[in-house]
Chains A and B, each alone.
Chain A
C-alpha cells in the first residue's frame, strides 16, 4: 500500500509543483525541442503515476500479481502481502474504477477535440478554395486588410495531406522578400514537425483534467516552445534578426478591436530570443534531457515495483516454510 500512497503523493506533488520546477530551467528556451520533450515527459509521468497507483492498490487481486512475482522470483503470497491494504480489496476496486472512468474521459475528450479540429479545418479549406488564390511560391493568399500568416495542418486521410500555409494580402505587402521566406519556412516547419499533434495532446490533457496545474502549464509552455522551435528551424544565425522583424511587423498590424485580454508574452519572448546572440548548444544537452525524461518516466514505475523487489529479497529466507503450505 505504501507504493500506492507514494505514487498518489507523486501525482499531487508533480501535478501541482512540477510546473514550477520545470519553468525554472531557463535553458529550455535555448533548446526548445528539448523543452517540448521535457514537458511531455513530465505530463506523461503524472498520468503514468496515477495509473500505477491504482494498479498497485489492486495488485493483490489482479492476475498481474503472478507475472510480477515471476519477474522478481518472489513468491506470489509475499508479493500480495507487500501490496495488501488493511481495508481489503475495496481501495483497489475503487481506485481501478476511478482510473477507468478518467481514462474513458480522456479518450472521449481527445476524440471530440480531434473531430472538432477536423471539422474546423474542413470548413477553412472549403472557404479557402472559394476566396483564396494559389501563390507561385506554394501558399494560399487571401485578400484582407489584416496582416495574418498561419498554417492549416493536414494529416493522413486529408485531401491536403501536407497542410497549407495561408498569408493575407496585407501580410504580403508588409513583409520584405527575405522576411516572407522566413515566415513561410517557420509555418512549413510547424506542418512538417506536426506541432499541431503536440499541442492537441497537451490540450486534451488540459481540458480533461482542468485542476491539474502541470497540464495547463505544459500546454501553455509547449505552445510557446513549438513557435521557438519553428523559429530556430526556419532561420540561420544571420537570419534571426530578419525573422524578428517579420514577427514585429506582423504582430503590430492594426486591428479595430484588440480583444485579447492577456498580454501575449510569447511574441516578446521570441523577439528577445531572436535578437539576442545566437544560443550556443552545449554538447550533450540533448542526451542530458533524454536522461532526465527517462528518469522522470521511470520514477513512477520504480515506486510501483519497489515492494515487489523488496518481497523478492525477503523471500530468500521465507521461501522454505511457504513452499510446504497448501496453496
Chain B
C-alpha cells in the first residue's frame, strides 16, 4: 500500500513536470529508468489517480492520455491553506512554529531584538 502511494507520488511528479497529456507507456518508460515496473502496475496507479480526481484522461486512439487536473502549486496552496486556517483555532491538528505576525508586533519584536543585542549575555 505504501509502495503504491510512493508510486502515485512519482507519477504525479512526472505529470507536473511534463505539463502535457501523456500515455501510460510514456510514464512507464520514464519510471523504469529508476526501478523495474510492469505496464499493468503503472496502469493501475494511473487509474487510481483518475478515480481520486487527481488526473483527467482523454481517449486518444486506443489508449488514454493522462494529465494532472491541477498544478502542483494549487495542491501546495490547498495544503498550506489548511495549515494557516488550523493554526488560528489551535485545534492541535498540527503545531506551527510561529504565526504570521501583524506589523505592530513586528515593530515590537525588532526593538526587542536590537535593544538587547548590546547587553552582555
Cβ-based interface call for B63 (8 A): no
8 Å CB contact of A263 from B78, B92, B104, B121: B104
**Does B86 reach chain A (CB closer than 8 Å)?**
yes
- CB-contact partner of A144 in B9, B77, B100, under 8 A: B77
User: Of the candidates B54, B94, B99, which one forms a contact with A266 in the assembled complex, judged by CB atoms under 8 Å apart?
Assistant: B99
Chain B interface mostly: helix
* Residues from chain A with Cβ under 8 Å of B108 in the complex: 268
A29 neighbours in B (Cβ, 8 Å): none
Q: B75 near A226 (CB under 8 angstroms)?
A: no
Q: Which of A117, A129, A245, A251 contacts B5 (CB 8 A)?
A: A129
A264 at interface by CB-CB < 8 Å: yes
Instruction: Find A271's partner among B8, B96, B109 (CB 8 Å cutoff).
Output: B109
By the criterion CB–CB under 8 Å, are B97 and A187 in contact?
yes
Say whether chain A's binding surface is mostly helix, strand, loop, or mixed.
helix
CB interface residues, B 57-96, toward A, < 8 Å? 72-73, 75-80, 82-84, 86-88, 90-96
User: Is there contact, CB below 8 Å, between A258 and B80?
Assistant: no
- 8 A-B residue contacts at CB 8 Å? A127-B75, A129-B5, A130-B75, A131-B75, A152-B94, A199-B92, A251-B100, A251-B105
Given contacts A130-B8, A153-B92, A168-B80, 14 further A-B pairs with CB under 8 A are A121-B94, A130-B75, A150-B94, A150-B95, A152-B94, A187-B95, A199-B90, A203-B91, A223-B90, A237-B121, A248-B113, A251-B98, A251-B106, A268-B108
